Structure 1
Amino acid sequence: MSIITVSRGTFSGGNNLAECLAKKLGYKALSREILVEAAERYGISESDLSNAIMAKPAIEERLSLKIDRIRYLSFIQATLCDHVKDDNVVYYGHAGHLLLKNVCRVIKVKVIAPMELRVTFAMERMKLSQEEAISYIRRMDKYRQKWTKFLYGVDWNDPSLYDLVLSLKEISIQTACNMISIMTEAPEFQLTEESKRAIADLAIESRIKAKLASDSKTRNYFLKIEAKDGNVKISGRVRNINDENTIREIVRDIPGIKTIDCSCIQYYPNS
């Protein structure tokens, strides 16, 4: 049993491939569902969550926008971790290969397709002219590259981020689906106890980030969260050293936490 992430450009066939995999393997296929659940769980609108992730960063609001995006990403990551902990999932939503980048044995796939095929898909589904379809695809690809660099500091097109890059120029969705299905049987992609613990720790880290990000007393702090076998270390800078106690109080009831080591440094913004 495996976890699969499918990354794709706009109208590159990734949605169809994910659905094909889910049907063939009997896995859950997740994309927008994670956004909807995260929005409901953390009390924000789905449109606000989606817009914060996808909006083009403006220079004058880069810092505030990045804080909002990191906050919202913690909501998405926490929700995604709850679904993948039992494996048997195909995720083709926002940056799954990066949200789960520290979890080994996840099959990270990228799908690419020739522009003419993508344009045909866009014209059919969005009722666009050829010129409008080309413009739309190029604009969305540019946005995707920019926010991946902005949020994660990586090039979305870097093949080293993936285990498999598939071009639909010469192969069908079904053939691509069959190829990935074979990979799920390989020992390299079977979840081990170690990888399950890594997922559990990532789930704890993401829940802590989400809870701190949703609390007005801690939402603007950049804190480093590390979990190892349920033992949590929190570090970073706080305005008041007493905020360490506030942080512990906010996160102490999160399931899976065994111990909390909160070692923060006070900073003086007006000095």
Structure 2
Amino acid sequence: MAVIAITQHVGMRGADLARLTAERLGYRLLTSEQLVAATSRTYNIPTEALAIVDERRPTFWMRFKTETGRFTAFFRAVVLKEMARDQLVVIGRSVAQILPELGCGLRVRLCGPLKERTRVAAAEEKLTTALAEARVRDYDREVRARIQTLFGIDIDDPSSYNLVLNVFAVPLESSAALLASFAGEVDRVVTAEQWGRMHDAALVAQVRAALLSHPKLGNAPFRVQCSGGAVQVVGLGIVPPWDDMVCEVVRRVNGVKSVEVLNQDMPPDPWQAY
């Protein structure tokens, strides 16, 4: 019942590792492209706009920078909903940062020598060695800057992960076997309480996304909390008729058992970074 969230980088063979691991475990496999497509369908946003969240598209990042907070919240809601279903291997540029540290899964950072990554990138993208090396370096710099901006996390900090894995040190099948073994250990020790907190985290993300997508509520600074499916929305100015509107939006989110709205001054959620 574990979740394995793997970072995706150029020349790292991450997609192959994710596929092998999912096949070994019998888990679902989701890629960043699939998650972006799901976010686009769910929240009616062009896929190119979502490039700022999990793709390397500086042009679109600048064009849609005023919507970065909303799009990140939408993407995060989709990812966490899938993670809460468990038995998942997911690979993407930001998915490891989205997985909560609740003991329900593994944040996996892939690494490898520049020379080997350049060789793989050159073969996969049909580039010269010089262009492939530049591609790897530019990609790493861009992704690090974007994740720092979106999540306030340095992706090169090993303490942000449960496992840092050199994918060139051993055969890819051996790395997949290692990840499968770790997943089995997670299954052995994780508790129902931890999974309950995981479901609450996913529900908070979905409620927050629902509020952000509402045309009359999208700019309001809310704090969303959840325990056992009971949702609490806190914010200054949630008075009639806005309180009823908030409750109506929240109740539509699948899994919400009850809603409480409090008109209090409280710092908004950190994910509302707009």
Partner of 1:95: 94
Aligned residues: 264
Q: Which amino acid aligns with 1:165?
A: V
3-state SS of 1:141 partner: helix
Q: CA–CA distance in 2 between the matches of 1:90 and 1:240?
A: 43
Q: Does 1:20 find its partner at 2:20? A: yes
With over 3 angstroms needed to count, the CA separation of the structure-2 counterparts of 1:15 and 1:53, relative to structure 1, is closer
- After superposition, give the CA deviation of every residue in 1:164-211 in whole Å (9 maximum; x if it has no partner): 111124212111111111112215765421122122212211111111
Q: Distance in 2 between matches of 1:244 and 1:57?
A: 39
Partner of 1:252: 251
Residue 270 of structure 2 is matched in structure 1 by none
Deviation for aligned residue 1:137: 1.3
Match of 1:44 in 2: 45
Instruction: Decide whether aligned partners of structure 1 residues 264 and 115 sit closer, same or farther in structure 2, where only a CA change above 3 A counts.
Output: farther
- Residue equivalent to 1:139: 138
Residues 47-126 of structure 1 aligned to structure 2 (within 5 Å): 47-51=48-52, 53-54=54-55, 55-56=57-58, 65=65, 68-126=67-125
Question: 3-state SS of the aligned residue for 1:5?
Answer: strand
Deviation of 1:6 after TM superposition, in Å, equals: 0.7
Q: What is the RMSD of the two structures over their aligned residues, measured on CA atoms?
A: 2.7
| SS at structure 1 position matched to 2:215 | coil
TM-score, structure 1 normalization: 0.87
Structure 1 stretches of 4+ with a deviation exceeding 6 A read none
Q: Contact 2:2 / 2:88 at 8 angstroms: preserved in 1? A: yes
The CA distance in 2 between the partners of 1:41 and 1:210, in whole Å, is: 10
Quick one: distance in 1 between partners of 2:188 and 2:30? 19
Q: Once the 2 structures are TM-superposed, how far is the Cα of residue 241 of structure 1 from its aligned partner?
A: 7.0
Question: In the alignment, does 2:7 pair up with 1:7?
Answer: yes
CA distance in structure 1 between the aligned counterparts of 2:24 and 2:186, rounded to whole angstroms: 19
TM-score, with normalisation over the residues of structure 2?
A: 0.86
Letter in 1 for 2:206: R
What residue number does 2:148 align with? 149
Aligned-partner Cα distance in 2 for 1:80–1:184 = 19
Query: Corresponding residue for 1:180?
Result: 179
Change (3 A) 1:116 1:57: same
* Structure 2: gaps spanning 5 or more residues: 267-274
In the alignment, the residues of structure 1 paired with residue 37 and residue 78 of structure 2 have an alpha-carbon distance, to the nearest angstrom, of 10
For the residue of structure 1 that corresponds to 2:184, the secondary structure is coil
Moved more, 228-237 or 128-137: 228-237
Give the partner amino acid of 2:162.
D
What SS does structure 1 have at the residue aligned with 2:164? strand
Moved more, 78-87 or 40-49: 78-87
Is the 1:13–1:111 contact (alpha carbons within 8 Å) kept by the matching residues of 2? no
* Alpha-carbon distance, 1:262 to partner: 2.1
Q: Secondary structure of 1:186's match?
A: helix
Deviation (angstroms), 1:71: 1.4
Q: Distance in 2 between matches of 1:219 and 1:13?
A: 39
8 Å Cα contact 1:8-1:112 kept in structure 2: no
Query: Which secondary structure does the structure 1 equivalent of 2:254 belong to?
Result: coil
Contact 1:53 1:69 in 2 (8 A): no
Matches of 2:101 and 2:182 in 1, distance apart? 19
Instruction: Tell me what 1:211 maps to.
Output: 210
1:36 deviation in Å? Answer: 0.9
CA displacement 1:102-128 (0-9 Å, x = unmatched): 432211111101111111111112111
Is the Cα contact below 8 Å between 1:35 and 1:46 reproduced in 2? yes
Unpaired segments ≥5 residues, structure 1: none
